[in-house]
Structure 1
Amino acid sequence: MAHQTLKYGLWLLVVTLAIAQMANAGDPNILSDFILPPNVTDVDGTFFTFTGFQALANSKNTTTFKVTKASMVEFPALNGQSVSYAALQYPVGSANPPHTHPRSAELLLVMVGSLEVGFVDTTNKLYTRTLYAGDMFVFPKGLVHYQYNTNAQDSIPTLAFSAFGSVNAGTVSLPATLFATGIDDTILATSFKTDVETVQKLKAGLAPKP
Structure 2
Amino acid sequence: MLDAAARRVLDRPLARVAGVLDRPWLSPDRLTAAGLVLGLGSAAAAAATWWWPALALWLVSRLADGLDGPLARRRRAAGAPADAGAGGFFDITADFLVYGAGVLGVALGVTAGGDPWQPFAAVLLAYYVNGAAFLAFSSLAERAGRQLDDGRSLSFLGGLAEGTETIVVHALWLLFPVFAWQLAWVWAAVVGVSAVHRMVAGHRALR
TM-score above 0.5, yes or no: no
Scaled to the shorter chain, the TM-score interval is under 0.3
Normalized against structure 2, the TM-score is what?
0.27
TM-score (norm 1): 0.26
The answer to which structure, 1 or 2, has the higher relative contact order (CA under 8 A, 6+ apart) is 2
Indicate the structure (1 or 2) with the bigger Cα radius of gyration. Answer: 1
